[in-house]
Structure 1
Amino acid sequence: MISAVKRFLIGRPLKSSALGEQKLNKTKALAILSSDALSSVAYGPEQVLLVLMTVSTIAFWYSIPIAVGVLILLFALILSYRQIIFAYPQGGGAYIVSKENLGENAGLIAGGSLLVDYILTVAVSVSAGTDAITSAIPSLHEHNVVIASVLVVLITILNLRGLTESASILAYPVYLFVLALFVLIGVGFFHIITGNASPELHAPLGTPVTGISLFLILRAFASGSSALTGVEAISNAIPNFNHPAPKNAAKTLAIMGSLLAVMLVGIVFLAYYYGIVPKGEETVVSQIAAVTFGRNFIYYFIQGTTALILVLAANTGYSAFPLLAFNLSKDKYIPSMFKMRGDRLGYSNGIITLGITSILLIIIFEGQTEQLIPLYAVGVFIPFTLSQTGMLVKWFREKPKNWVGKLLINFVGAIISFTVMMIFFITKFGQVWAVLIFIPVLIFIFHKIKNHYESVGEQLSVSNNSPIKPIEGNVIIVPVAGITHVVENSLNYAKSLNPKQILAVYVAFDREDEKRLAEKWSKWQPDVRLVTLYSQYRSINYPLSKFISKVENKAYESSYTVTVLIPQFIPKKGWHNILHNQSSLLIKTILLYRKDVIVTTVPYHFKK
C-alpha cells in the first residue's frame, strides 16, 4: 500500500545510469534556478516603499535612486558570480569558495547561512505567493498558513519526482510570469507616455521631504536589495547543467540578471508614478495591475502568474539546498544521509528536510512575509560577502592572466555586499539579531558532527594498531516468556552455535508461575539450564539486566563472550504488531548500549 502510494506520487525508480539524463539545458535551468531571483521583484519594491512610508508618501520618489543603487549591486554580483562559475565549475558556490580561500570556519559560516537561506527561500516565496492569491481572493486571507503549508507539500512532491521533470513543469509559469510582467510594464509605460496616467499621483523627483535621513534611505536600500536573493543559486548548481556546464551556467546567469534588472526598474517606476501605497491586504504588483488594466482577465492573469512564480520560486531552494547539503555531508559536517540519492536520482533526504523545516517556519511566523524577509536577505549577503572576499584572496594568491581586472570586480562586489550586510545589521537589528546566535550554534554543531565522524573513522580503521580481542568461547542467554515454538526455535539455533553454556532466563511476576514453568521446563528442555528471576515490581528489563551483568563479569574472567539471543515472533501482517507487546524490541534497544554484550534476534515467522 505504502509502496503503491509512493510510486503514484514520485514515479518509478530510475537506474543510476540515467543520471546523465537529469541535466538541465539553459531554458529549463533559467526556470528552475532563476525563479527565486525573478520572483523577488514581486515583493522587493514593496519593501522599499514600506520603509519610505514611515516618513511620508512624498518620500516615494527616493525609490528611483534606490532602484539604481540596487541595479549597480546586481551588476557587480552578476560579474562576480560569473567568475566564480568558471573558477569553481564543480559547484558549491560561496561554501566552496570561502572554505578553500578563507578557511574552514569561513566556509561553514557561508554554508550554514546558505542552508538557512534556502529554507527561508521556500518559506518567503510560498508566503508571498499565498499573499498574491489572497490579494485576488480576499476571503482566503485568514487561511494563509494552511494554504502555504499545502503548497510546500506539493512542491516537495514535485521535486521528489526528479530534476528534469520538475523543471519541465516549472518552465511554463516562470516564462508566463516574465511575459505578464513585461506586458504590465510595457502597457504601464505606454499609458504614461500617452498621458493616460495622471502625473499628479506622485511627488516630482527631488521634492524636499521632511524627516528623511541617510539612515532611513540606507534601510530602504537594504530592503530593496532583498530583490537580489537567489542570484547565487546558479553558481551553487553548476553540476546540474548540460555540458559544457560552466558556459551554460554563465549564460543563464547573464539572462537572469538582464530580466531581473528590467522588471525591477519597471515595477519600481510604475509604483512611484502611480502613487501606489503598500496595503496589508493587497500587494503592490496587484495594485499596479488593477490601475493599469482594471480587474479584468489580464489583471487576474498577472496575479495568477505572480502567485505561481512566487510559490514555485521555492524551487530554487529545492535545487540548491540538496546540492549544498551534499557538499557539507561529503566534508562530514552534516549527516551522511544527505549524500544518498533517492529513487528518482535526486538527493531526496535534502528535499524532504527542506520541506519540513520550511513548513515549520511558515507556522511559527504565521505566513507573514515581512517578518521573514530581513532574515532571508541577511542570510544571503553573508555568503555574498564571504564568496567575493574569498575570490579576492584566490586572485591575489594565484595571479592568473588578467588577474587585476578579476580582482577589481570581486573587490567591488565584496565592498557593496559587505556594506549592504552591515546596513541590514544596523538598521534592522531587531529583526536579524537571531543570525548572530544561530550561525555560531550551527557552526558548533558542524564541528561536533565532523569530530564524531573522524572518531568513528579512527575506531573503524584496521590500521590503528588496536586489534579486536579474539572470541575464545560463548555464553548464550535466552530470555524466554514461556514454553512456545518461538522459544524452541531460538534454543535450537543457540545449540547449533556450540556455546560453552546456554542459559534460559524467565522473569516471573508470580511465585506460582515461576514454580510451574520450572517443573515443565525440566521435562521439556532438560539439557538447557533455566534461570528464573522474580520481579516484585513487574519489570522485565531491570532484573534481566542485573543478571546479564553478573554473567558478563564471570565470562570476562574466562575470556568468554556473552550473547543475548532474543526470540521474536513476526506476524504475517504488519498491523498485527500493534496487538502484541514489543518487549523483545525494548530488551534489544537497552542491551545494544552494553559494551561487552552481543545481541542477536532470532525471528519466528507466523504462517497465518
Structure 2
Amino acid sequence: MISSIKRFFIGHPLKSTELGEQKLNKKKALAILSSDALSSVAYGPEQILIVLVTIGAAAFWYSIPIAIGVLILLAALILSYQQIIYAYPHGGGAYVVSKNNLGINPGLIAGGSLLVDYILTVAVSVSAGTDALTSAFPILRAHTVAIAILFVLFITVLNLRGIRESASILAYPVYLFVVAIFILIGVGLYNIVTGQVPAELHTPIGAPVAGISLFLLLRAFASGSSALTGVEAISNAIPNFKDPAPNNAAKTLMAMGILLALLFSGIVFLAYYYGISPRGDVTVVSQIAEKTFGRNFMYYFIQGTTALILTLAANTGYSAFPLLAVNLANDKFIPRMFTIRGDRLGYSNGIMALGFASIVLIIAFKGQTGHLIPLYAVGVFIPFTLSQTGMMVKWMREKPQGWLSKFIINTTGALISFIVMSIFFLTKFTQVWPVLIFLPLIILTFHRIHKHYLAVADQLRVSPSEPTMPIEGNVIIIPVAGITRVVENSLNYAKSLSAKNIIAVYVSFDREDEKRFDEKWANWNTGIRLVTLLSLHRSLILPLTKFIDTIEHKANESNHQVTVLIPEFIPKKGWHNILHNQSSLLIRAYLLYRRNVVITTVPYHLKK
C-alpha cells in the first residue's frame, strides 16, 4: 500500500541511464532557477518603501536613486557570477569558489549561509505567495500558516517527481508572471504618458525632505537589495543544464539579469509615480494593479500570477539546495545520504530535508514574510562577498590572459556586496543577529561531521602493517524462551554453523520454573547444553549480558568469536507484532554495541 501511494505521488522509478534526459534547456532553466530572483520584484520595491515611509510619503522619491543603486549591484553580480560559471563549470558556486581560493572555513561559511538561505528561500517565497493570495481574498488571512504549509508540501512532491517534470509544470506560471508584470508596467506607463495619473500623487524628484539621513537611505538600499536574492542559484546548478552546460548557464544568467532589471525598475517607478504607500494588509503590487485596472479580471490575473510565482519561487531552493548539499557531502561535511539519488534521479534526501526545514521555519515565524526577509537577504550577501573575494584571489594567483578586467569586475562585486552586508548588520541588527549564532554553530557541526568521517575512514582502512587476528572458532549462545519450533529452527541453524560450542540460555524468574524447564530440556534431548540463569528482579537483559560477558572474556583468550543467535518469529501480518512481547528486539538492541559479540537473528515466519 505504501509503495502504491509513493508511486502515485512520485511516479515510477527511472533508470540511471535516463539521467541525461533530466537535463534542462535554457527556457526551463530560466523558469525554475530564476523564479526566486524574478519573484523578488513583488516584495523588493516594497521593502524600500517600508523604510522610507518612516519619514513620510514625501521621501518616496528617494526610491528612484536607491533602485538605480540596486541595479548597479545587480549588474556587478551578474558579470561576476558569469565568470564563476566559466571558471567552475561543475557547479558549487560560492562554496566551491571560497573553499578553493580562501580556505576551508570561508568555504564552509559560504556553504552554510547558502544552505540556510535556500531554506529561507522556500519559507519567504511561500509566505510572500500566501500574502498575495490573502490580499486578493482577505477571508483566507486566518489560515495563512496552513496554506503556506500546503504549498511547501505540493512543491516538495513536485520536485521529488524529477527536475524535468517540475520544470515543465513550473515554467508556465513563471512566464505568465513575467507577461503579467510587463502588461502592468506597460499600461501603467501608458496611463502616465497620457495624463491619466495625477502628478500630485507623488513628490517631485529632488524635493527636500525633512528628517532624511544617510543611515536611513543605506537601510532602504539594503532592504531593496533583497530583490537580488537568488542570483547565485544558477552558478550552483550548472550540472542541471544541457551541454554545453557553462554556456547555457551563462546565457540563462544574463537573461535573468535583464528581466529582473526591467521588472524591478518598472515596479519601483510605478509605485513612486502612483504615490503608493506600503500597507500591512495589501501588497504594493496589489495596490498598483488596482489603481491601474481596478478590481477586474486583469487585477486578479496579476494577483494570481504573483501569488503563483512567489510560491513557486521556492523551487529555486529545491533546485540549488540538493546540489550544494551534494558538494558538501562529497567533502564529508554533511551526511553522505545527501549524495544518493532517488527513484526519479533527483537528490530526494536533500529535497525532503529542505521541505521539512522550511515548514518548521514557517510555523516558527507564523508565515510573516517581513520577519524573514532581512535574515534571508543577509544570508545571501555573505556568500556573495566571499565568492567575489575568492575570484579576486584566483585571478591574482593565476593571472590568465585578460585577468585584470575580470579582477576589476569581481572587486567591484565584492566591495558592493560587503557594503550591503555591513549595512544589513548596522541597520537591521535586531533582525539579523541570529546569523551570528547559528552560522558558527553550523560551521562547528560541519567540522564535527568531517572529523567523524575521517575517524571512520582511518579505522576502516586495510593496512598490511596491522594484520587482524585469525578467528580460531565460534561460541554460539542462543537465548531461549521455551521449547517451540522457533527455538528448534534456531538450534538447527546453529548446528549447521558449528557442531560444538553451542550454549542455550534460559532466564528464569523463580526456582520452580527453573527446575521445570531443566527437566523439559533434558527430555527434549537436543544434544545442546542448557544454562539456566535465575533473575530474582525479573530482568531478562541483566543476567543474560553478564553471562555473555563471561563467555566473551574466556573466548577472547583463545581467539574465539562469540555469536548470539536470537530466535524470532515473524507474524504473517505486521500489526500482529503489537500483540507480542518484543523480547528479541530488546536483546538485539542492547547487545548491538558490544564490541566483540556478533548478533544474528534467526527468523521463523508464521503462516497464519
Alignment TM-score, normalising by the size of structure 1:
0.99
Which residue type is aligned with residue 593 of structure 2?
Y
CA distance in 2 between partners of 1:286 and 1:464 (Å): 72
Equivalent pair of 1:113/1:439 in contact (CA under 8 Å):
yes
After TM superposition, the structure 1 = structure 2 runs for residues 383-402 of structure 1, keeping only pairs within 5 Å, are: 383-402=383-402
Corresponding residue number in structure 2 for 1:255? 255
Q: Does 51-60 or 393-402 show the bigger shift?
A: 51-60
Corresponding residue number in structure 1 for 2:472? 472
Write out per-residue CA displacement over residues 170-189 of structure 1, whole angstroms, 9 at most, x where no aligned residue: 10000000000000011011
Corresponding residue number in structure 2 for 1:276? 276
CA distance in 2 between partners of 1:533 and 1:284 (Å): 78
Corresponding residue number in structure 2 for 1:209? 209
Corresponding residue number in structure 2 for 1:4? 4
Deviation at 1:467, TM superposition (A): 2.2
CA distance in 1 between partners of 2:364 and 2:113 (Å): 19
Deviation at 1:523, TM superposition (A): 1.1
CA distance in 2 between partners of 1:476 and 1:448 (Å): 38
Write out per-residue CA displacement over residues 138-169 of structure 1, whole angstroms, 9 at most, x where no aligned residue: 01101111000011001000000001000000
Equivalent pair of 1:474/1:499 in contact (CA under 8 Å):
no
Corresponding residue number in structure 2 for 1:305? 305
CA distance in 2 between partners of 1:587 and 1:433 (Å): 48
CA distance in 1 between partners of 2:556 and 2:387 (Å): 57
Write out per-residue CA displacement over residues 516-566 of structure 1, whole angstroms, 9 at most, x where no aligned residue: 222111111452222222223322122211221111112222222211111
Corresponding residue number in structure 2 for 1:540? 540
Corresponding residue number in structure 2 for 1:599? 599
Deviation at 1:413, TM superposition (A): 0.3
Deviation at 1:601, TM superposition (A): 0.9
Corresponding residue number in structure 2 for 1:187? 187
CA distance in 1 between partners of 2:43 and 2:140 (Å): 20
CA distance in 1 between partners of 2:426 and 2:519 (Å): 81
- 2:234 is the counterpart of 1:237: no
- 2:176 is the counterpart of 1:172: no
Q: Does 383-392 or 538-547 show the bigger shift?
A: 538-547
CA distance in 2 between partners of 1:510 and 1:134 (Å): 69
Aligned-residue sequence identity (percent) comes to: 74
Q: Does 77-86 or 56-65 show the bigger shift?
A: 56-65
CA distance in 1 between partners of 2:581 and 2:465 (Å): 45
Which residue type is aligned with residue 487 of structure 1?
V
CA distance in 2 between partners of 1:199 and 1:256 (Å): 33
Q: Does 551-560 or 26-35 show the bigger shift?
A: 551-560
- 2:45 is the counterpart of 1:56: no
Deviation at 1:449, TM superposition (A): 0.9
Which residue type is aligned with residue 569 of structure 1?
F
CA distance in 1 between partners of 2:411 and 2:173 (Å): 36
Corresponding residue number in structure 1 for 2:218? 218
Deviation at 1:468, TM superposition (A): 2.1
Write out per-residue CA displacement over residues 265-299 of structure 1, whole angstroms, 9 at most, x where no aligned residue: 11111111111111111111111101110111100
Corresponding residue number in structure 2 for 1:450? 450
Deviation at 1:115, TM superposition (A): 0.4
Q: Does 138-147 or 575-584 show the bigger shift?
A: 575-584
Corresponding residue number in structure 1 for 2:587? 587
Deviation at 1:464, TM superposition (A): 6.1
CA distance in 1 between partners of 2:25 and 2:559 (Å): 64
Write out per-residue CA displacement over residues 339-388 of structure 1, whole angstroms, 9 at most, x where no aligned residue: 00000000000000000000000000000101111111011000000000
Corresponding residue number in structure 2 for 1:554? 554
Q: Does 240-249 or 531-540 show the bigger shift?
A: 531-540
SS in 2 for 1:269: helix
CA distance in 1 between partners of 2:92 and 2:525 (Å): 64
* Number of residue pairs the alignment of both structures matches: 608
Write out per-residue CA displacement over residues 387-415 of structure 1, whole angstroms, 9 at most, x where no aligned residue: 00000000011111100000000000000
Corresponding residue number in structure 1 for 2:330? 330
- 2:427 is the counterpart of 1:427: yes
Corresponding residue number in structure 2 for 1:160? 160
Write out per-residue CA displacement over residues 428-485 of structure 1, whole angstroms, 9 at most, x where no aligned residue: 1111111111111111111111111111111111126322221112111111111111
Which residue type is aligned with residue 595 of structure 2?
K
CA distance in 2 between partners of 1:544 and 1:208 (Å): 87
Unmatched tracts of structure 2, length 5 or more: none
Which residue type is aligned with residue 193 of structure 2?
I
Deviation at 1:35, TM superposition (A): 0.2
CA distance in 1 between partners of 2:514 and 2:48 (Å): 79
Which residue type is aligned with residue 318 of structure 1?
Y
Which residue type is aligned with residue 399 of structure 2?
K
Deviation at 1:55, TM superposition (A): 1.7
SS in 1 for 2:505: strand
SS in 1 for 2:532: strand
Write out per-residue CA displacement over residues 28-55 of structure 1, whole angstroms, 9 at most, x where no aligned residue: 0000100000000001111111111122
Q: Does 554-563 or 97-106 show the bigger shift?
A: 554-563
CA distance in 2 between partners of 1:15 and 1:434 (Å): 43
After TM superposition, the structure 1 = structure 2 runs for residues 491-510 of structure 1, keeping only pairs within 5 Å, are: 491-498=491-498, 500-510=500-510
Deviation at 1:499, TM superposition (A): 5.5
After TM superposition, the structure 1 = structure 2 runs for residues 16-31 of structure 1, keeping only pairs within 5 Å, are: 16-31=16-31
After TM superposition, the structure 1 = structure 2 runs for residues 64-79 of structure 1, keeping only pairs within 5 Å, are: 64-79=64-79
Corresponding residue number in structure 2 for 1:414? 414
CA distance in 2 between partners of 1:56 and 1:500 (Å): 92
Corresponding residue number in structure 2 for 1:86? 86
Q: Does 56-65 or 251-260 show the bigger shift?
A: 56-65
Write out per-residue CA displacement over residues 70-91 of structure 1, whole angstroms, 9 at most, x where no aligned residue: 0000000000000001111001
Deviation at 1:576, TM superposition (A): 2.0
Which residue type is aligned with residue 443 of structure 1?
I
Q: Does 584-593 or 412-421 show the bigger shift?
A: 584-593
Which residue type is aligned with residue 228 of structure 1?
L
CA distance in 1 between partners of 2:524 and 2:510 (Å): 21
Unmatched tracts of structure 1, length 5 or more: none
Corresponding residue number in structure 2 for 1:110? 110
CA distance in 2 between partners of 1:270 and 1:146 (Å): 33
CA distance in 2 between partners of 1:430 and 1:141 (Å): 27
